[in-house]
Amino acid sequence: MKVYDFDPRSQPDEILKAIGLVVLEANELEAIIKMGLASLLKADQKIAHITFQSMTFGQAFDLLKLLAEVLVDQSNHDAVEGKKSFLASIARCKAAMDERNYVVHSFRFVDHEEGQTFISRMKVGKSGVSLKETVTPSLANAVADMLREARHDLFRHFIAIRIL
């Protein structure tokens, strides 16, 4: 019978570093979204911090998407194309956070007999749970890059709309 090691400290430093980067990039994206919300709502920074601190990413994201639909129409953001681009940027943020969830909530273990680390992410679908793919450091780093690019793109839109 095989014995697997589920202790996170047994994971290679390379994967721990990559997953840590994903977590930090996601945190920065969430912070930008919440800063944008505070600015959109013209909220006092202290009140905004208290309000948005208790919101999940999903709640903040949904509120941003709803506000974008209404408030972009009232801005000087190059009308229809700018609005489409802004909403696409918001959708990229959601997609990046979905990828973050796969990486962060993946199933990790080390098989010392084989000398390998297995890091798999699961996908739940209509047919049940199936193995999606192995999460490697390069995949985790790609997700971190995706999060950073989504954050930078959203920030550019916030600047264009004069939100931040």
The pTM of this model reads: 0.82
pLDDT per residue over 39-64, tens digit each?
888 888 788 888 888 899 999 999 99
Band of pLDDT at residue 30, cut at 50, 70 and 90: very high
Residue with the larger pLDDT of the pair 37 and 79:
37
pLDDT per residue over 74-118, tens digit each? Answer: 655 555 567 788 889 999 999 999 999 888 887 776 767 766 666
Q: What is the pLDDT of residue 98?
A: 92
pLDDT reported for residue 152: 97
CA atoms within 13 A on the CB side of 79: 1
pLDDT of residue 32: 93
What is the SS3 assignment for the chain?
CCCCECCHHHCCHHHHHHHHHHHHHHHHHHHHHHHHHHHHCCCCHHHHHHHHHCCCHHHHHHHHHHHHHHHHHHCCCCHHHHHHHHHHHHHHHHHHHHHHHHHHCCEEEEECCCCEEEEEEEEEECCEEEEEEECCHHHHHHHHHHHHHHHHHHHHHHHHCCCC
Distance of CA 12 to the CA centre of its chain: 23
Residue 153: the pLDDT is 96
Give pLDDT tens digits for 132-143.
567 788 989 999
Give me the pLDDT at residue 156, please: 93
CA-wise closest residue to 32 among 161, 153, 160: 153
Q: Is residue 161 over pLDDT 90?
A: no
Question: To the nearest whole number, what is the mean pLDDT of the chain?
Answer: 82
pLDDT at 121 over 80: no
